[in-house]
Chains A and B, each alone.
Chain A
Amino acid sequence: MGRSGFVVQRLLLLIPVAVGVTIIVFFMVHLIPGDPAATILGIHATPKAVALLHQQWGLNRPLASQYWLFLDRLLHGNLGQSIYYGGSVSSLILSHLPPTLWLLTYATVLTVLISVPLAVLAATRRDGIRDHVVRAVPLVGLGMPQFWLGFLLIYVFAISLRIFPVSGYGTGFTGHLQSMFLPSLTVALALTPVVIRSLRASMLNVLTAEYIVTARSKGVSSRRLFQRHVLRNAVIPAVTVLAINIGFLVGATVIIEQIFAIPGIGQLMINAIFQRDFPVVQGVTLVFAIMVVLVNLLADMSYAALDPRVSFER
């Protein structure tokens, strides 16, 4: 089948996943109590105004026909209009996607930059002081609530030391690099304990493998040993762990986005749910589903890059 066939097959599988997710979310969000008119009208909601808005938004039609309309629009590439803002859902999503993608990518990069050297340190100095420190200290990042950790970092690095801005997304590439550092670090500090441990464990596994002993006896230098043999083999389970966590992250960035005032997809979703902005909720859910599937696809493809034993042939 080959790599391209594999990718195509996975992308085609995306369709039933997406449709399934949208059905579930559509009915869930419509069945919970609450009314977008309540958000729009606030304390000025009179039954007449509410009824008028319901008619305008097509909410007085039966649920099944509303879903059909949504699906029909979707197949024509139209995600509908936001009830709250009135503008197109797709433009809302497109404008909110980059900050979240930045957050996820930056956080992943930082996680890797922090975890790999530390895991190597721990695995090669097994049961030594350094190993214990590397395994214990990052647990602080895992145990601490993200909002607390976030504010702590802001307080130290943005207010006291003035190295980074307090919050926001920034403008321009360097602006984003600067503004997104603290939020990405907050996410990375929660991911690293898990990645370090899994990487360390799989490295310990690999270090005792026969092919390592063979390579060493052949006189392969330590650095080359690590780069070509140990890391590449050990990293595969860690990639799985990382991919799963990124999948969770796609929705969990909401808290970070709140604290750091990042106009990302998580923020958009939470507000849309509170406002009962049904078209936005449906649109964002679709995007989430696609992102999770794509992340997993990327993870699978990286296995092939890292491990030549993995092939796409059946």
Chain B
Amino acid sequence: MKHRTTTAITLIAVSALAALAGCGGSSGSSSGTAGAASGAPVQGGDLVIARTADSQSMNNTTVFDNESIWIFEQIFQTLYTVTPNGKGVQPMLATGYTVSADKKTYTFTLRSGVKFSTGQPMTSADVKFSIDQASAAAKGWGYINTAIKSVEAPSPSTVVVNLKYPWAPLLADLSLFSNGIVPANYGGKSETDFYNAPVGTGPFKWDYWHKGSALKLVRNPNYWEKGKPYLNSVTWTDVPSDNTRELQLKGGQAQVDEFPAWSTVASLKTTPSVTMNLFNSTRTDYLAFNELRKPFQDVHVRRAISLAVDRAALVKAVLFGNGKPANSLFPPQVPYYQAATQGLQFDLAAAKQEMAKSSVPHGFSTTILVSSGFSDDTTIATILQSELKPLGINLKIQTLDPNTVNTNQQSLKYDMTLTYWTMDIPDPDELATFGVDPNSGAKSFFTAYNNPTVVKATHDAEQTLSTSARQDLYNTVQSDSASDAFMAFLYNSPYAYATTSSVHGFYVTPLGNYHMENVWLSK
């Protein structure tokens, strides 16, 4: 009676479950067959990349967000692109250039046979339009093109760039995604409509974007590199939880896991059917001091704190060993990096000596501003708390949500905070200007650091074309900013990507971008 009702309901539930499990097709391929030999690339396949957050916009001239940039770089290409080692540029849509004697006029030859995904051939008119729109003042990345006076298109396969003054980082600047080539006049569309379904010369073209869920690009049949891309499509899915991304990789729902948690790297390295990639990156993490707040205007205080930080311990605790202590404002992957830069390293005795020389020899109380939700930052702050105690420094940790932290940092309302940089171009100019020039708009990485020697060296290096002269100038920038300790350089960390072993050709440059046209899936 009641038995039967209960039993009946239970039976229904169980059979429903069974039916559910059976229907709907397979939930993803089984883990990659072992021993899939890498050999000749295989055509076809659909790749899924599980990433940490959604893109913001496909407008390459205004966005700063990596999750947008790394996507539209598969659609828009530039005249030059960064070399795999991150130190220089190589031809992409341009095949070569000549420069005038006064170094102010560059004439580029465009590659022939390049078409947009619509089938339209790319010409110099498109290049002129693209660089002009990127330079427009109100746009986000306009400042990168400040040295450009005008762009001309004398013939369909030639582009002339006229500079206001000699400019060493020009090719690097042209390799920035903001100078990616789009059809002239957006192919007749409005800017907004164009960027909702962007068209470029790249290996992939637009399919769809379900905001918050997934963004899909499909193979461009008109791509100029013969035989490429290998993949039929690439889909970037938004999976904010580290654990879920890892489970998706293991469960076959994704073939690439972007940024697995550092604590999982060791176990992923030993998981069969998973390749744990640690690509050299230009990411450097810093501890920033606000020189508008006492006592951080005192160089001895800054040096003392920097000397008290055990960077090796941070690498172990935060990165689980996947990184290296940093010694310079510049990361090792950037051209003109000076390995001999004497960025302050752990030396407690020297730290105490600096404190003794400072304006607050008995110590002081201060706060470190940290973003909530980033366990790495909280770990660093906690370690710093105990490392600064021997100096008599009482460090309080102030945790706020990331947006508030950024806003406070940008308006210089903090004592100490954690920050970082990744390069966008293979030239130190962007970092140097942003980092040490108080008038560049970012107020020296929001620290108000002002050393006229360093500022002058940064400016001079922009307009000198001689590599040895630039090296000397950047050596000055690196050495002086290190001894001034305007920030404590903490560590360099790699770009971590876990892929299934069926993924081949996936490579991330030190700038963080990747070329999906080289990726293929073995069966």
A residues adjacent to B (C-beta < 8 A): 32-50, 52, 84-87, 92, 95-96, 113-114, 116-117, 120-121, 124, 151, 154-155, 158-159, 162-170, 174-175, 177-178, 181, 221-223, 226, 258-261, 263, 267-268, 271, 274-276
Q: Report Cα–Cα, A120/B406, bound state, in Å.
A: 55
Given A87-B211, A113-B9, answer yes or no on A162-B251 (Cβ-Cβ < 8 Å).
yes
Decide yes or no whether B212 CB sits under 8 A from chain A: yes
A42 and B64 contact, Cβ closer than 8 Å, known pairs A165-B28, A258-B240? yes
Please tell me which stretch of B101-109, B387-395, B397-405, B467-475 contacts chain A, meaning at least 4 of its Cβ atoms lie within 8 angstroms of it.
B397-405
Query: What's the Cα separation between A226 and B1 when bound, in Å?
Result: 10
B64: A residues at CB distance < 8 A: 40-44
B512 to chain A, nearest CB (A): 13
Chain B residue contacts of A158, Cβ below 8 A: 27, 247, 251
Among candidates B21, B50, B140, residue contacting A164 with C-beta atoms closer than 8 Å: B21
Closest chain A CB from B90 CB (angstroms): 26
Q: How far is the CA of A171 from the CA of B200 in the complex (A)?
A: 29
Chain B residues, CB < 8 A from A162: 27, 30, 251
In chain B, residues 407-432, which have Cβ atoms closer than 8 Å to a Cβ of chain A?
407-408, 410, 419-421
Q: Is the CB of A35 within 8 A of B403?
A: yes
* B238 cross-chain contacts in A, Cβ below 8 A: 261, 263
A276 with B251, Cβ < 8 A, contacts A42-B64, A49-B441, A117-B10 known: no
Between B210, B211, B404, the greatest number of chain A beta carbons within 10 A of the residue's beta carbon is seen for: B211
Select from chain B the residue with minimum beta-carbon distance to A276: B403
Q: With a CB–CB cut-off of 8 A, which chain A residues contact B264?
A: none
Q: Is the CB of B244 within 8 A of A166?
A: yes
Known: A35-B407, A113-B9, A261-B239. A165 touches B27 (CB 8 A): yes
**A263: B residues at CB distance < 8 A:** 210-213, 238
B273 interface residue (CB < 8 Å to A): no
Distance in Å: Cβ of B377 to nearest Cβ of chain A: 14
What are the 3 A-B residue pairs with the smallest beta carbon separation, nearest first? A46-B441, A263-B213, A38-B406
Cβ contact within 8 Å between B1 and A96: no
- Measured between beta carbons, the chain A residues less than 8 angstroms from B23 are 174, 177-178
A39: chain B residues at CB < 8 Å are 403, 406
State whether A174 touches B24 (Cβ < 8 A): yes
* Extra 4 A-B pairs, beta carbons < 8 Å, given A167-B253, A177-B24: A35-B403, A35-B406, A43-B419, A261-B248
Q: Is the CB of B20 within 8 A of A50?
A: no
Pair B251/A259 contact, Cβ less than 8 Å = no
Across the interface, B420 reaches (CB within 8 A) one of A32, A43, A48, namely A43
Q: Chain B residues near A259 (CB, 8 Å)?
A: 241, 243-244
B225 on the A face (CB < 8 A): no
Can you list 19 contacts pairing A with B, beta carbon distance less than 8 Å? A42-B64, A43-B421, A48-B441, A96-B211, A117-B9, A124-B2, A151-B243, A155-B247, A165-B253, A166-B251, A166-B253, A167-B244, A177-B23, A222-B2, A259-B241, A260-B244, A261-B239, A268-B212, A271-B212
Cα separation A42 to B250 with both chains bound (whole Å): 32
Contact A181 B20 (CB under 8 A): yes
In the assembled complex, the Cα of A267 lies from the Cα of B213 at a distance in Å of: 10
Assess the A117–B403 pair: CB atoms within 8 A: no
Output the least CB separation between A34 and chain B (Å).
4
Residues of A within 8 A of B213 (CB): 169, 263
| Across-interface contacts of B253 in A (CB, < 8 A) | 165-168
